[in-house]
Amino acid sequence: MNTTEFSEVARLHSASIRATGLSARTVDWYDHQYSQYDRWRVENGHADTIPSAERFESYLAFQHGRGLRPATVNAHYRALAKLIAFAIQRGLLSRNDNPLELMRPPRIPRERPQHVTPRDLKALIATCHRPDWLEHRDELILCLLFYSGLRLAECCALAVDDLDLKRMEVFVRRGKGAKPRTVPMAQEVRQPLLDYLYTRPSVAPHLLLASTPHGEARGPLSSEGLRMMLRRRCDQAGIEHLSAHKFRHGFAMWLRNHGTDLSDIAAAMGHTSTQVTQLYYAHTLPPTVHNAYNLAFAKLRASGE
C-alpha cells in the first residue's frame, strides 16, 4: 500500500520542473492543479497520500459535478498523472501501486473548436485605419496571431530579431515547455511588420511595445495589454470577443482548410505530439478532400455505372 505523502511529492515535482527551466507560468499551472486536489483531499478527510484509483476517480467525478468542461477535467487528470509518473521514476511509488493502471483518462468529446475566421480577421484589421504606430502594432499582432498561430505569451515575448523577413520565418524562442520552434511567416504579415517598425517611437529590441496615455512607448506589451487590445478591437468591429487561443484555432483551421497535413500543423503550433492536434482537427475535412470526393462521384455519374 502506498504511504508516500502527496504534498511532499508535489513539492519535489515542482522543484524538479523548475530545475528543467520550464516557464514560471507552466510551473504555476502544475502548482495550481496540485493545490486544487490537496484542498479537495482535506475537505473530504482523505489522508495525505498519493491517491488510489478509487480516490482519483472520486476527485475527477467531483470536477465533472462542478460542471467543468471535459477538457478541463482531463487537464486535472494529466497533471496528477505527471506527478504519479514522477513519483515512480524517483522510486517514491511502486509500479505495482500505480493507480493509472486501473483507470481510464476522462473522455474529451470531439467538437469543432471555436475559431477566428478570415472574415473575423478582415473585420478586425479594418478597425486599424489610422496611420500611427499603435494602429500598425495592433494590425501586426492580429496577423501574427492568425497566420503564425502564436500563443499569447509567445507573441508578447517576441524580439525584433525573431522575425526574419528574408527567410519569412518567425522564431519562437520559448514556446510551451520551454521548447523553441520556427513558424513560417505568411506574406500577409510582411507589410504590417514593416509599417510598424518604421513608425514605432522606440528602437528597443523587444518587438511589441506598450504605450502611455499620450501615445508614447513605455516598455514591452504585457499579456493583459494584448488581451485588452483584442477586446477593444472586437468591440470596434462589432463581433464577439475573441481570445488569442481562438486565433490559434483559426490558424490551425486555416492550414487544415488548405490541405496541410496534421503532423505539419502540430509542428507549427508547437504541440509535443500529434495527439492534441488530432483531437481537435482530425475530424475536419480540408477542401482538397471534398474536391477529390466530388470529382470521383462526378466521374462515377458520367460513366453511368
146-150, 173-177, 228-232, 239-243 — most confident range = 228-232
Whether 305 shows a pLDDT value over 60: the answer reads no
Query: Exposure pattern of 116-147 as b/e (b: 16+ CB <10 Å)?
Result: beeebbebbbebbeeeebbbbbbbbbbbbbbb
The span from the CA of 192 to the CA of 241, in Å, is 22
What pLDDT digit, counting tens, does each position of 58-110 carry?
Answer: 999 999 999 988 888 988 999 999 999 999 999 998 898 899 898 888 887 66
Whether 42 shows a pLDDT value over 70: the answer reads yes
79 and 153 part of one domain:
no
CATH of the domain at 25: 1.10.150
CATH of the domain at 136: 1.10.443.10
The three-class DSSP label of residue 35 is: helix
Q: Count of domains in the chain?
A: 2
Give the model's pLDDT for residue 172: 85
Q: How far from chain centre, in Å, is Cα 254?
A: 16
What pLDDT digit, counting tens, does each position of 13-38 carry?
Answer: 999 988 887 777 788 889 999 999 99
Give the model's pLDDT for residue 41: 93
38 and 67 part of one domain:
yes
45 and 146 part of one domain:
no
The C-alpha torsion from 202 through 206 and 212 to 216, rounded to 10°, is 10
181-184 β-sheet, strand order = 163-164, 169-172, 181-184
The three-class DSSP label of residue 238 is: coil
Give the model's pLDDT for residue 165: 92
Compute CA distances 161 → 47, 51, 171, 195, 235, whole Å.
52, 47, 9, 16, 32
What pLDDT digit, counting tens, does each position of 215-258 carry?
Answer: 888 889 999 999 999 999 999 999 999 988 888 888 877 777 77
The span from the CA of 150 to the CA of 268, in Å, is 9
179 and 268 part of one domain:
yes
66 and 124 part of one domain:
no
Give the model's pLDDT for residue 204: 85
Q: How far from chain centre, in Å, is Cα 304?
A: 49
65 and 22 part of one domain:
yes
153 and 238 part of one domain:
yes
Give the model's pLDDT for residue 224: 93
- Is 304 among the domain residues? no
- Is 176 among the domain residues? yes
- Is 107 among the domain residues? no
Query: Exposure pattern of 160-173 as b/e (b: 16+ CB <10 Å)?
Result: eebbeeeeeebbbe
- Is 271 among the domain residues? yes
188 and 124 part of one domain:
yes
185 and 152 part of one domain:
yes
- Is 1 among the domain residues? no
- Is 293 among the domain residues? no
152 and 188 part of one domain:
yes
Mean pLDDT value of segment 184-193: 90
The span from the CA of 22 to the CA of 83, in Å, is 15
The three-class DSSP label of residue 114 is: coil
Q: Which residues touch 269 (CB under 8 Å, ≥6 apart)?
A: 149, 248, 251, 252, 277
Which domain covers residue 21, as residue numbers?
6-102
- Is 292 among the domain residues? no
- Is 205 among the domain residues? yes
69 and 206 part of one domain:
no
The C-alpha torsion from 267 through 272 and 278 to 280, rounded to 10°, is -90
